[in-house]
Structure 1
Amino acid sequence: MPQLNPAPWFAILFFAWMIFLIILPPKILAHKCPNDPGLRNLVVTETKFWNWPWQ
């Protein structure tokens, strides 16, 4: 039964994980976030409470 031979499947698994762990993270981390939360002006808005009779 040739499907029980782990040699080719282990190599495919190994190279796939090497792509995921070595090649892809720098490419993904190179992208910049267009909505940088640090550049936003922090304006505190004053909220008003509702005085509704609930009873």
Structure 2
Amino acid sequence: MPQLDPSPWFAIFLFSWMVFAFVVPPKVTAHKFPNDPDYKIIETPPGMAWDWPWH
């Protein structure tokens, strides 16, 4: 049965895991989101008094 021959499938398995382990993580960690909230200056709006009639 040719599907039980591990020589081509094992090489494909190792090569794909090498790509996932060494090529993909640096690309993912180098990604910057365009609207990341860390880069923005957060200003709190002035507080408004709640002078509503509650009765």
Aligned residues: 52
Runs of 4+ deviating beyond 6 Å? none
- Aligned residues: percent identity? 50
Question: Structure 1 stretches of 5 or more lacking a match?
Answer: 49-55
CA distance in 1, matches of 2:36, 2:15: 35
For normalisation by structure 2, the TM-score amounts to 0.63
Over the aligned positions, Cα root-mean-square deviation in angstroms equals 2.6
Question: Structure 2 stretches of 5 or more lacking a match?
Answer: 51-55
For normalisation by structure 1, the TM-score amounts to 0.63
